[in-house]
Amino acid sequence: MASITIRNLDEQLKAQLRMEAARHGRSMEEEVRIILRGALSQPQKGGLGSRIRERFAAEGGVELEVPARSDKPRAPALDT
């Protein structure tokens, strides 16, 4: 088994972790293992854009009119 060290952990967060572990009758290490396992076992759906859209979907959206494209794309001017 591998082990990790977490530095600069906020004291309040550490206290919350200690309380949660005690509430569940586990050590802090076991509580962290269970939290990490739960967080990482859920498969990610879609990419970042899809997840952002899903998170804010309930807020509604704005439909933008896409202008018609009448000219052909031009090559960029690379001489400066």
Pick the residue with more confidence: 19 or 46?
19
pLDDT class of 63 with cuts at 50, 70, 90: confident
Provide mean pLDDT across the span 5-16. Answer: 94
pTM: 0.53
Structural domain boundaries of the chain?
A: 9-41
pLDDT value, residue 15: 96
pLDDT value, residue 10: 94
Round the average pLDDT of the chain to a whole number and report it: 89
Token digits of residue 42: 């859920």
Contacts (Cβ under 8 Å, ≥6 apart) of 21:
27, 28, 30, 31
